[in-house]
Structure 1
Amino acid sequence: MAKYKTIKKKSQGLYKEKGSKFFAYAFQLQEKEDVKQYLEQIKEEHPKARHICYAFLIKEGNEEYYIANDDGEPNNSAGMPILGQIRSNGLSHVLVAVVRYFGGTKLGIGGLITAYKESAALCLTEDNFIEVEPQTNITFTSNYETMGLVLAVIDKNNLDAKIEHLENRASFQITTELEHKESIIALFERLEITFT
């Protein structure tokens, strides 16, 4: 599978128009389930925000998965302009969320479109772009008797793993480049583990 362009790290920008403030945030996504976590984080940082509009895009091969959310702003005045900035930069696996604080003067639909577009552009800068290989997660559980063997395979192959200790077993999540998924699964198949 081909590389894709995304962002290296979280970035932000601030756009002001007629007293309104638009705080824009960009996040790299591993999977679409990451979106909820990042939006909750923004809501905690901005509990008094009037609107948190966002868009994200994940490309996998010829398929695109995206959502553009106006969060109460007029239809297509926020989410689509944000999505347009993600697309115009050729990005994938990116979430951009824009928090709006109303400044007392209505901007009109055209003004909102411009404000959300410019806000997104401020947090999507070329110096933060990177090309990466598609990633995937491999998850499985192991009983504690075979955990030492599992850890030895992880260590020997220098794998990126998260471990959660459960009552009578451990749960593992290994993140790897998509092209290596099958070979990594093969490393563990001879052990007594359960892929989930």
Structure 2
Amino acid sequence: MTETDAVHSLNSGPEIEIKIKGSRFLGRAFEAVTEDEARVELAALKKKAYDATHHCSAWKIGPPEKPIERHDDDGEPNGSAGPPILGAIHQSGLINALVVVTRYYGGTKLGTGGLVKAYGEAARLALAEAPRKTLWRRESLVIRCAFDDLGPVETLVGKAAAHTLEVERVFEPEPEVRLVLKQSRVDDLANALVEATAGRVKLERESLGIA
């Protein structure tokens, strides 16, 4: 069964290098949850490699349905660097990803086609070296019930354990179970709780986004 709540991202990876006609292309993929984080990483890399000719970049941040995407050619011919880097991110299927490819010019012009190939390849290699991680679309569910209904409530909560990311219990002044679940599983659990308690259970839901 496909896990519809899973979203794939990365941890920041190591630097890779390719050489083409004397030019060195250094690629690195970073995790960036916000645009500010991406800008900080990019600024730090530019400061560290201050003597490089270009620092071309792209990022894709936010939920897959509506991500924020940007790219920058940083002085290379229009469309020859940023777009192929962004294309590599698209191909990877990852979110919250920043890729920077730093070029040290080697004295031979590569032409637009050569640059597109070089920047795209460096970005793909950088992404391939970055460790993957799984994020989840999450929703909180707070369950309040009478003590007489706690048994069936706990039974259903236990059955949902495989899809539960966090759980907390409070018993004063009344039983309260606070869950963070994979989003697509909340409807089934909520409906089952209402049915098992003949509607006596009180439920509060809130979407928590992706994490």
TM-score range, shorter chain: 0.5 to 0.7
Question: Counterpart in 2 of 1:9?
Answer: 12
1:105 aligns with 2:108: yes
Q: CA deviation at 1:64?
A: 2.1
Question: Counterpart in 1 of 2:117?
Answer: 114
1:25 aligns with 2:28: yes
Q: CA deviation at 1:133?
A: 2.6
The correspondence of residues 143-154 of structure 1 with structure 2, limited to 5 A, is none
The structure-2 alpha-carbon separation of the partners of 1:17 and 1:62, relative to structure 1 and needing over 3 Å to count, comes to: same
Q: CA deviation at 1:177?
A: 9.8
Question: Counterpart in 2 of 1:62?
Answer: 65
The correspondence of residues 40-59 of structure 1 with structure 2, limited to 5 A, is 40-59=43-62
Q: Distance in 1 between matches of 2:182 and 2:68?
A: 18
Share of identical aligned residues, percent? 37
The correspondence of residues 157-172 of structure 1 with structure 2, limited to 5 A, is none
Which one-letter code corresponds to 1:46 in the other structure? A
Question: Counterpart in 2 of 1:89?
Answer: 92
Q: Distance in 1 between matches of 2:129 and 2:39?
A: 26
Q: CA deviation at 1:100?
A: 0.5
Which one-letter code corresponds to 1:104 in the other structure? G
Runs of 4+ residues deviating >4 angstroms = 176-179, 181-184
1:71 aligns with 2:85: no
List gaps (5 residues or longer) in structure 1: 136-156, 158-175, 185-196
The structure-2 alpha-carbon separation of the partners of 1:183 and 1:61, relative to structure 1 and needing over 3 Å to count, comes to: closer
Per the normalisation by structure 2, the TM-score is 0.61
Q: Distance in 1 between matches of 2:79 and 2:53?
A: 17
List gaps (5 residues or longer) in structure 2: 139-167, 169-179, 184-204
Q: CA deviation at 1:15?
A: 1.1
Give 3-state SS (helix, strand or coil) of 1:11's partner.
coil
Q: Deviations over 1:147-195 (max 9, x none)?
A: xxxxxxxxxx8xxxxxxxxxxxxxxxxxx9997x9699xxxxxxxxxxx
Q: Distance in 2 between matches of 1:43 and 1:26?
A: 14
- Alignment check: 8 A CA contact 1:12 1:122 kept: no
- Alignment check: 8 A CA contact 1:4 1:134 kept: yes
Cα RMSD between the aligned structures? 2.7
Q: Which has the larger radius of gyration?
A: 2
